[in-house]
Amino acid sequence: MKTVYALDAVTRAPEPIAPEPIAAAEIAARTARVAAIASAHAEAVDRDGRFPQEAMDALKAERLLSIMVPAELDGGGASVGQVLDICYALGRSCASTAMIFAMHQIKAACLIRHAAHEPWHAGFLRRVAAQQLLLASSTTEGQGGGDVRSSAAPVSQGEDGRIRLERDATVMSYGAQADAIVTTARRDDEAAASDQVLVVLEKAAYTLTPTLAWETLGMRGTCSAGFALKAEGAQAQVLSEPYAVIHAQTMTPTAHLLWSGVWAGIAASATDRAQKFLRKAARKAGGQLPPGAPHYTRATTALRTLQGLIHEGLAEYEARAGDPQALTHVDFQTRITLLKVEVSELAVSAVMSAMRACGLSGYRNDGDASIGRLLRDVLSAPIMINNDRILANLGASALLSEVPQSLGGFGLAR
Ligand SMILES: Cc1cc2nc3c(=O)[nH]c(=O)nc-3n(C[C@H](O)[C@H](O)[C@H](O)COP(=O)(O)OP(=O)(O)OC[C@H]3O[C@@H](n4cnc5c(N)ncnc54)[C@H](O)[C@@H]3O)c2cc1C
């Protein structure tokens, strides 16, 4: 991006003007255009289990892949809250598109917060903006499942000064379509499994050999297949900050918030369908509501609760965003981790309620009130980092958290 100068009066030398973030209304308008395209292709993407290429082309054309990159690095300068709303809007249209967008932004957030001051990464973020590069995420490895804080493959140093990484990436969404992969790895050959780094790998310097297909119930368009990843690069592509820090300060909060946005969007889409169905049915029956109608009330209640939970999680994150210690505080970590568990389960229950509100019309696959695709997509939420694993891991820290002494009405700390 060119630097713009303000020519001030006669006396002063020109001063550079910092580039402005994109206005919220403009982001909303761009999002609406992409959402319309994602919606039009959502059925085909799900049916064929194919990558949502049309929606991805639209995201790139609207420059939404770099929406969170700072304006100084030629991006849109959007906040996590604004990106969360994009995830919600896309989740209402096509869950796979929304999840791909969310995963890309989570990786972008890690690079922005922890590496934008490093020359290689600043250059890379500029290229993300200029070329609208799509970033995939690789954390799942071998049989390790959702144990994100443990890696098997190390970053190896070659005698030529280059780094090399060979990884059994058992689940990597849109790995084949991405322009770069951001992956966890063991720091070096000697490091313990939990001594991890985050590495950016560029498409020109890696190969992906397919190992596992993605024939799943839902989220079919994410194309989350398995690959043997073989890559090389420069040492500068490894972020200097240890992954443990990145994980606590950025990866967990942004993943849990943005995924929540996607799942709430799916729940909203189901509730929307149920509302249309019930209104139409009531009109036809002279105002008489079908027997499933109370389930609609449950769906809307769940949706409102989801909105409240996510809003509170975002507010807590934003309040701490400038303070690394506050971000890693055990209370915040526990709450932002549990947000994922709560939202994922409530979103499933909202979609189930919407389906029951629509009765057979919701159960069918071939009508306007069909909930099938939404239900299949949202069922991925509790297993996308399995809730059981999360709850088991949180057992000890949950014990350390105080039981709330008040509900806030007396002005005491909650
Ligand atoms: C739509 C989708 C997209 C994905 N995209 C990516 C991606 O792009 N990149 C990537 O790296 N990964 C991706 N993943 C994989 C994801 O990160 C997790 O690895 C995966 O969801 C783990 O699922 P799992 O149920 O096999 O969990 P695991 O963690 O392997 O658990 C397996 C089973 O063991 C139980 N379990 C595990 N640990 C414990 C414990 N401590 N206590 C109690 N029970 C336990 C669980 O309940 C579960 O039943 C994706 C997953 C989904 C659903």
Average pLDDT over residues 377-391: 96
Q: What is the pLDDT of residue 334?
A: 92
State if residue 219 touches ligand 1 by the CB under 6 angstroms criterion: yes
**Residue 264: exposure state from Cβ atoms within 10 A (0-12, 13-18, ≥19):** buried
Residues with Cβ within 8 Å of 232's Cβ and at least 6 positions away in sequence, in order, are: 158, 162, 163, 164, 165, 205, 206
Q: Which atom of ligand 1 is nearest to the CA of 145?
A: 30
Query: Which of these, 345, 354, 326, lies nearest to 390 by C-alpha position?
Result: 345
Average pLDDT over residues 320-333: 94
State if residue 222 touches ligand 1 by the CB under 6 angstroms criterion: yes
Pairwise CA distance, residues 297 & 303, whole Å: 10
State if residue 66 touches ligand 1 by the CB under 6 angstroms criterion: no
pLDDT band at 63, cuts 50/70/90? very high
Q: What is the pLDDT of residue 353?
A: 98
For a mutational test of ligand 1's pocket, the pick from 51, 100, 171, i.e. the residue with the most ligand atoms closer than 8 A to its C-beta, is 171
**Residue 236: exposure state from Cβ atoms within 10 A (0-12, 13-18, ≥19):** middle
Q: What is the pLDDT of residue 398?
A: 79
Query: Which of these, 379, 355, 376, lies nearest to 367 by C-alpha position?
Result: 355
CATH class belonging to 243-400? mainly alpha
Q: What is the pLDDT of residue 14?
A: 65
Average pLDDT over residues 69-97: 98
Q: What is the pLDDT of residue 409?
A: 85
Q: What is the pLDDT of residue 395?
A: 86
Average pLDDT over residues 316-327: 96
pLDDT band at 412, cuts 50/70/90? low
Whose C-alpha lies nearest to ligand 1, atom 47? 388
8 pLDDT exceeds 50?
A: no
Q: What is the pLDDT of residue 145?
A: 83
1 pLDDT exceeds 50?
A: no
Pairwise CA distance, residues 52 & 39, whole Å: 10
Whose C-alpha lies nearest to ligand 1, atom 53? 384
Mean of all residue pLDDT scores within the chain? 94
Instruction: Please give the DSSP secondary-structure letter assigned to residue 188.
Output: S
State if residue 380 touches ligand 1 by the CB under 6 angstroms criterion: yes
State if residue 370 touches ligand 1 by the CB under 6 angstroms criterion: no
State if residue 184 touches ligand 1 by the CB under 6 angstroms criterion: no
Instruction: Give the tens place of pLDDT for each residue, 113-126.
Output: 999 999 999 999 99
Q: What is the pLDDT of residue 413?
A: 61
According to DSSP, the β-strands at 163-172 and 225-233 are antiparallel
Pairwise CA distance, residues 300 & 271, whole Å: 7
Average pLDDT over residues 241-262: 98
Neighbours of 325 (CB within 10 A): 8
Average pLDDT over residues 125-151: 95
Ordered by start, the domain boundaries in the chain are 19-134, 136-237, 243-400
Which residue matches tokens 């700390």? 413
Query: Which of these, 82, 84, 76, lies nearest to 255 by C-alpha position?
Result: 84
143 pLDDT exceeds 90?
A: no
Pairwise CA distance, residues 183 & 144, whole Å: 14
Q: What is the pLDDT of residue 400?
A: 79
Query: What CATH number labels 136-237?
Result: 2.40.110.10
Q: Which atom of ligand 1 is nearest to the CA of 138?
A: 11
Q: What is the pLDDT of residue 408?
A: 84
Q: What is the pTM of this model?
A: 0.94
Query: Which of these, 383, 192, 352, 191, lies nearest to 271 by C-alpha position?
Result: 352
Query: What CATH number labels 19-134?
Result: 1.10.540.10
Instruction: Give the tens place of pLDDT for each residue, 164-191.
Output: 999 999 999 999 999 999 999 999 999 9
Beta strands in 92-220 (DSSP E): 135-138, 156-157, 163-172, 180-186, 196-202, 206-212
State if residue 344 touches ligand 1 by the CB under 6 angstroms criterion: no
Residues with Cβ within 8 Å of 313's Cβ and at least 6 positions away in sequence, in order, are: 253, 256, 257, 260, 335, 336, 339
